[in-house]
Amino acid sequence: MTNGHGPRLLGASDAPAMAAVHARCFDKSWSALDMSVHAGRDLCLGLFVDGELCSFAVLRLSDADAEVLTVATRPDGRGRGLAGLILEEAANRLRATGLRHIFLEVAEDNIPARALYDRLGFTPIGRRPAYYARPGGRMAALTYDLPLETPYPASLDADPGRG
Protein backbone atom coordinates (compact mmCIF):
# COMPACT_ATOMS: atom_id res chain seq x y z
CA MET A 1 0.00 0.00 0.00
CA THR A 2 2.58 2.60 1.08
CA ASN A 3 5.73 0.61 0.33
CA GLY A 4 6.11 -0.19 4.03
CA HIS A 5 6.55 3.44 5.08
CA GLY A 6 4.20 5.30 7.38
CA PRO A 7 3.22 8.95 7.33
CA ARG A 8 6.09 11.43 7.33
CA LEU A 9 6.42 15.13 7.97
CA LEU A 10 6.06 17.27 4.87
CA GLY A 11 8.15 20.36 4.24
CA ALA A 12 8.33 23.26 1.82
CA SER A 13 9.91 21.02 -0.82
CA ASP A 14 6.69 18.95 -0.80
CA ALA A 15 4.49 22.01 -1.42
CA PRO A 16 4.10 21.52 -5.21
CA ALA A 17 3.03 17.89 -4.72
CA MET A 18 0.66 18.91 -1.92
CA ALA A 19 -0.93 21.56 -4.17
CA ALA A 20 -1.30 19.04 -7.01
CA VAL A 21 -3.08 16.52 -4.77
CA HIS A 22 -5.27 19.25 -3.26
CA ALA A 23 -6.27 20.45 -6.76
CA ARG A 24 -7.48 16.94 -7.60
CA CYS A 25 -9.68 16.92 -4.49
CA PHE A 26 -11.19 20.38 -4.10
CA ASP A 27 -12.77 22.97 -6.40
CA LYS A 28 -11.13 25.75 -4.37
CA SER A 29 -7.66 24.31 -3.99
CA TRP A 30 -4.60 25.75 -2.29
CA SER A 31 -1.55 26.85 -4.24
CA ALA A 32 2.03 25.62 -3.81
CA LEU A 33 2.76 28.91 -2.03
CA ASP A 34 -0.13 28.28 0.38
CA MET A 35 1.19 24.77 1.04
CA SER A 36 4.71 26.07 1.60
CA VAL A 37 3.42 28.50 4.23
CA HIS A 38 1.49 25.70 5.97
CA ALA A 39 4.52 23.41 5.87
CA GLY A 40 6.49 26.10 7.67
CA ARG A 41 4.05 26.67 10.51
CA ASP A 42 1.60 23.75 10.78
CA LEU A 43 1.81 19.99 11.22
CA CYS A 44 1.80 18.53 7.70
CA LEU A 45 1.90 14.75 7.35
CA GLY A 46 1.75 12.74 4.15
CA LEU A 47 1.90 9.25 2.72
CA PHE A 48 3.71 8.35 -0.46
CA VAL A 49 2.81 5.49 -2.81
CA ASP A 50 5.37 4.48 -5.42
CA GLY A 51 7.40 7.57 -4.59
CA GLU A 52 4.55 10.04 -5.13
CA LEU A 53 2.50 11.91 -2.56
CA CYS A 54 -0.90 10.22 -2.42
CA SER A 55 -2.50 11.61 0.74
CA PHE A 56 -1.79 14.34 3.29
CA ALA A 57 -3.26 16.35 6.14
CA VAL A 58 -2.55 19.81 7.49
CA LEU A 59 -3.24 20.55 11.16
CA ARG A 60 -2.88 23.92 12.90
CA LEU A 61 -1.70 23.68 16.52
CA SER A 62 -2.49 25.92 19.46
CA ASP A 63 -1.52 25.63 23.12
CA ALA A 64 -4.22 23.10 24.01
CA ASP A 65 -5.62 21.69 20.79
CA ALA A 66 -5.28 21.26 17.05
CA GLU A 67 -7.54 21.86 14.08
CA VAL A 68 -7.53 19.83 10.89
CA LEU A 69 -7.35 22.41 8.11
CA THR A 70 -7.45 19.95 5.23
CA VAL A 71 -7.17 16.28 4.38
CA ALA A 72 -6.65 15.27 0.75
CA THR A 73 -6.22 11.90 -0.94
CA ARG A 74 -5.79 11.50 -4.68
CA PRO A 75 -8.87 9.88 -6.23
CA ASP A 76 -6.84 6.81 -7.24
CA GLY A 77 -5.72 6.35 -3.62
CA ARG A 78 -9.10 6.57 -1.90
CA GLY A 79 -10.62 3.67 0.00
CA ARG A 80 -7.21 2.34 1.06
CA GLY A 81 -7.13 3.81 4.57
CA LEU A 82 -4.39 6.35 3.83
CA ALA A 83 -6.11 9.38 5.37
CA GLY A 84 -6.93 7.30 8.44
CA LEU A 85 -3.27 6.34 8.88
CA ILE A 86 -2.24 9.97 8.61
CA LEU A 87 -4.82 11.19 11.13
CA GLU A 88 -3.94 8.38 13.55
CA GLU A 89 -0.26 9.38 13.31
CA ALA A 90 -1.20 13.02 13.88
CA ALA A 91 -3.27 12.08 16.94
CA ASN A 92 -0.39 10.03 18.36
CA ARG A 93 2.11 12.85 17.83
CA LEU A 94 -0.22 15.45 19.32
CA ARG A 95 -1.16 13.25 22.28
CA ALA A 96 2.56 12.91 23.08
CA THR A 97 2.90 16.72 23.20
CA GLY A 98 0.05 17.08 25.69
CA LEU A 99 -2.54 18.56 23.37
CA ARG A 100 -6.06 17.70 24.47
CA HIS A 101 -8.28 17.85 21.36
CA ILE A 102 -8.32 17.73 17.58
CA PHE A 103 -11.17 19.66 15.97
CA LEU A 104 -12.34 19.64 12.37
CA GLU A 105 -15.23 20.58 10.17
CA VAL A 106 -16.58 18.71 7.18
CA ALA A 107 -19.34 19.31 4.65
CA GLU A 108 -22.52 17.56 5.72
CA ASP A 109 -22.75 15.79 2.35
CA ASN A 110 -19.19 14.38 2.51
CA ILE A 111 -20.30 10.93 3.63
CA PRO A 112 -16.93 9.14 3.09
CA ALA A 113 -15.07 11.70 5.23
CA ARG A 114 -17.73 11.58 7.94
CA ALA A 115 -17.49 7.78 8.03
CA LEU A 116 -13.69 8.05 8.40
CA TYR A 117 -13.98 10.53 11.27
CA ASP A 118 -16.55 8.33 13.01
CA ARG A 119 -14.22 5.29 12.69
CA LEU A 120 -11.35 7.29 14.17
CA GLY A 121 -13.40 8.28 17.22
CA PHE A 122 -14.29 11.87 16.34
CA THR A 123 -17.58 13.02 17.87
CA PRO A 124 -19.95 15.49 16.16
CA ILE A 125 -20.25 18.60 18.34
CA GLY A 126 -21.99 21.16 16.16
CA ARG A 127 -23.48 22.20 12.85
CA ARG A 128 -22.99 25.41 10.87
CA PRO A 129 -25.90 25.87 8.45
CA ALA A 130 -25.17 27.05 4.90
CA TYR A 131 -21.41 27.21 5.62
CA TYR A 132 -20.01 25.97 2.30
CA ALA A 133 -20.89 27.58 -1.05
CA ARG A 134 -21.81 25.01 -3.68
CA PRO A 135 -22.90 25.39 -7.31
CA GLY A 136 -26.47 24.41 -6.42
CA GLY A 137 -26.67 26.37 -3.18
CA ARG A 138 -25.09 26.12 0.24
CA MET A 139 -24.16 23.14 2.43
CA ALA A 140 -23.90 22.86 6.21
CA ALA A 141 -20.61 22.12 7.94
CA LEU A 142 -20.49 19.60 10.76
CA THR A 143 -17.90 20.17 13.49
CA TYR A 144 -16.15 17.27 15.19
CA ASP A 145 -13.91 16.77 18.23
CA LEU A 146 -11.42 14.02 19.02
CA PRO A 147 -10.37 14.06 22.69
CA LEU A 148 -6.73 13.04 23.07
CA GLU A 149 -6.81 11.18 26.37
CA THR A 150 -3.62 9.63 27.67
CA PRO A 151 -3.62 5.95 26.63
CA TYR A 152 -2.86 4.89 30.22
CA PRO A 153 -3.20 6.61 33.60
CA ALA A 154 -0.63 9.37 34.07
CA SER A 155 0.29 7.92 37.47
CA LEU A 156 1.71 4.83 35.74
CA ASP A 157 4.08 7.00 33.76
CA ALA A 158 5.61 8.40 36.95
CA ASP A 159 5.98 5.00 38.67
CA PRO A 160 9.69 4.65 39.57
CA GLY A 161 9.32 0.84 39.48
CA ARG A 162 8.70 0.84 35.74
CA GLY A 163 11.72 0.10 33.59
Per-residue pLDDT of 7-27, as tens digits, reads 999 999 999 999 999 999 998
The pLDDT mean for the chain works out to: 90
Mean local confidence (pLDDT), 150-159: 41
Describe the strand order of the beta sheet including 43-49 as a list of residue ranges: 8-9, 43-49, 52-61, 65-73, 101-107, 137-147, 123-134
H or E segment at 48? strand 43-49
Residue 161 in domain: no
Residue 68 in domain: yes
Query: Is 158's pLDDT higher than 60?
Result: no
Residue 160 in domain: no
Residue 157 in domain: no
Domain span at residue 12 reads 8-152
Q: What is the pLDDT, as a whole number, of residue 4?
A: 60
Confidence of residue 2 (pLDDT cuts 50, 70, 90): low
Tens of pLDDT along 52-109?
Answer: 999 999 999 998 899 999 999 999 999 999 999 999 999 999 999 999 999 999 999 9
Q: What is the pLDDT, as a whole number, of residue 159?
A: 38
Query: Is 153's pLDDT higher than 60?
Result: no
In the chain, the number of structural domains is: 1
Query: Is 152's pLDDT higher than 60?
Result: no
pTM of the model: 0.87
Let me know: does 56 contact 68? Beta carbons within 8 Å. Answer: no
Let me know: does 70 contact 113? Beta carbons within 8 Å. Answer: no
Residue 162 in domain: no
Distance CA 124, CA 114 (A): 9
State the distance between the two ends of the chain, measured CA to CA, in whole angstroms. Answer: 36
Distance CA 114, CA 120 (A): 10
Residue 159 in domain: no
Residue 126 in domain: yes
Distance CA 131, CA 84 (A): 25
Q: What is the pLDDT, as a whole number, of residue 27?
A: 87
Q: Which CATH number belongs to the domain containing residue 140 in this structure? A: 3.40.630.30
Confidence of residue 134 (pLDDT cuts 50, 70, 90): confident
Confidence of residue 48 (pLDDT cuts 50, 70, 90): very high
Residue 127 in domain: yes
